[in-house]
Amino acid sequence: MKKPPKVLVIDDEVEVCTFFDFLLQDKGFDVCLANDGNDASKALAQSTFDLAMVDLKLPDTNGIKLLSIIKEASPDCEVIIMTGYSTVKTAVDAIKLGAFDYIEKPFEDLDKLEQLIDHAIASSSSSDWKLNVQNYFSLSKDYGIIADNNSPLIPVLNLANKISDKDINVLIQGETGVGKEVVARFIHSQSHRKEQPFIAVNCGAFTENLLESELFGHQKGSFTGAQGSRKGIFQIADNGTLFLDEIGDASPSIQVKLLRVLETGEFTPVGGEKKLNTDVRVVAATNVNLENAVQNKRFREDLFYRLDVVTLEIPPLRRRKCDIPLLVSHFISRNTSEEDIPITVNAKAMEKMIEYHWPGNIRELANVVTQAVALSDGGEIEVIHLPEKIKNTRNEKFESLIEEEKTGDIQEIVAQWSDNLVKQLDPHKTDLKELMNELKSAQGYVARRVIEEVINDTDGDRGKAAKILNATPRMLRYIQNEK
């Protein structure tokens, strides 16, 4: 006979413990109650558990510390953190550290609570974490999110899936072209708002006045050309999800108005007097470091903390080498039909694409595959069908020059790297012309990566970046655009 699941409930509120005692015993579970960290430690020393319900704030400890203790004592035990809204960000951090999920107090939706508990128990008892991943993994593919089981994108998707149905703001960070909007659409598709609108707005694509009108709407005659009243995105997206792309480009005036909407749910159309209410979930995205922007007084600190309840860091494609073959196959399928001759990629061409550093990320890869499919004229994609910048890409051994070293002594870095390179090469098997081409490619690659990092650290201020690098803005543009 199968043993009933064992659940440890840790909360200093007697009412909460009593509630779970009745709820879980009624489900046929074996329940153990603890009112503080000391009681919990004693229980863990005496038994193993399938699930622990842990309050984030306890008299003698906190949920984060207990999470570590529970995982050490009972690695297969899943942990659900119980928290108030003010500590949601800490609860999300707990998920990153291994918690199964979190739930907010008070427990208003008992069906959802029971569903979460059942899901956690199933995950613990069957060790089916990978199967659970596949459930939302297959759903994510419908939105163009393609990744290998070992991809660094998996933890990001795991967190995105767990917070998707919670009414909290999300900040997605990552380089241009990594797929921030795709992840935002995935979050919306898994939320209770999925039947309502998902609307995306690029804050960097409008002037300040036009962006204000786009977001909040305007009244007839409120400005030159306003021949009629118009609803804003916050009104149109009511009860849905609003994706604010390039939020770092919003002006100080727009930032103030966004803060008010996030705090009160109220806004006033341009030229209007009556306040309107909205209930939208905001998912914001940026390719600049907003924390640096806050420190440099380019972004409001209070707005940053309103947006930064959950942060998802989308890794660049150069950190997702294992995903490239899958992505290439996906883009080939997207550019061909069932009636077409099946297109494959030969080993050398795939090797070149895996070695390439993809500064434009997935967007660049999609364009390259589209071009290669057209040039291949059916059949097989070869190296000759790839752009020159990829044909001449440097070998993986050049990666260490910019990935591992973090010092300002350029001469020392280059000398050490050069010595290591010579040691790795067999002089009798070296094609000198190929070596010179690879070194030239590496030179451009390193320069572009250094420029990208400094521009990112200066919040996109190319003039400031040029000054730091002892160069001119024109020189930076030339190097970045160099093929």
Tokens encoding 363: 């967007």
Tokens encoding 132: 């659970």
User: Is it the case that residue 272 has pLDDT exceeding 90?
Assistant: no
Share of the chain above pLDDT 90, in %: 53
Question: DSSP H helical segments within 232-343, as ranges?
Answer: 233-236, 252-264, 290-295, 301-307, 324-334
CA distance linking residue 28 with residue 461, whole number of Å: 61
Confidence of residue 238 (pLDDT cuts 50, 70, 90): very high
Model pLDDT, residue 429? 78
Contact 332, 375 (CB under 8 A): no
Q: Which residues of the chain are in CATH 3.40.50.300 domains?
A: 154-313
pTM: 0.73
Residue, of 410 and 118, whose pLDDT is higher: 118
Length of the chain: 483
Model pLDDT, residue 80? 96
Model pLDDT, residue 138? 63
**Residues 174-212 pLDDT 10s:** 998 999 999 999 999 999 999 999 999 999 899 998 999
Q: From 408, 435, 412, 434, select the one nearest 422 (Cα to Cα).
A: 435
Please, what is the angle between helix 432-457 and helix 473-481, to 10°?
130
Beta-sheet strands, E only, within 337-470: 344-345, 380-381
**Residues 45-98 pLDDT 10s:** 999 999 999 999 999 999 999 999 999 888 889 999 999 866 788 888 888 888
Signed CA dihedral, 408, 461, 481, 394: sign only: positive
Confidence of residue 419 (pLDDT cuts 50, 70, 90): confident
Q: Which residues of the chain are in CATH 1.10.10 domains?
A: 405-481
Confidence of residue 144 (pLDDT cuts 50, 70, 90): confident
**Residues 15-48 pLDDT 10s:** 999 999 999 999 999 999 999 999 999 999 999 9
Mean pLDDT, the chain, as a whole number?
86
Q: Which residues of the chain are in CATH 1.10.8.60 domains?
A: 318-391
Model pLDDT, residue 139? 61
* Cα 49 to the center of its chain, rounded Å: 32
**Residues 313-364 pLDDT 10s:** 999 999 999 999 999 999 999 888 877 778 999 999 999 999 998 989 999 9
Confidence of residue 397 (pLDDT cuts 50, 70, 90): very low
Q: Exposure of 153 by Cβ count < 10 A (0-12 exposed, 13-18 middle, 19+ buried)?
A: buried
Contact 352, 392 (CB under 8 A): no
Q: Please compute the mean of the pLDDT values over residues 291-299 and round it to a whole number.
A: 89
Q: Please compute the mean of the pLDDT values over residues 113-140 and round it to a whole number.
A: 66
Model pLDDT, residue 128? 41
Model pLDDT, residue 195? 95
Q: Which CATH architecture has domain 318-391?
A: Orthogonal Bundle (1.10)
Question: What dotted CATH number matches 405-481?
Answer: 1.10.10
Confidence of residue 401 (pLDDT cuts 50, 70, 90): very low
Query: Which has the minimum average pLDDT: 146-160, 362-376, 405-419, 467-481?
Result: 405-419
User: Is it the case that residue 113 has pLDDT exceeding 80?
Assistant: yes
Residue type, 395: N
Q: Which residues of the chain are in CATH 3.40.50.2300 domains?
A: 6-127
Q: How many CB atoms lie within 10 A of CB 22?
A: 10
Model pLDDT, residue 405? 43
Structural class in CATH, domain 154-313: alpha beta
Model pLDDT, residue 409? 66
Q: Which CATH architecture has domain 6-127?
A: 3-Layer(aba) Sandwich (3.40)
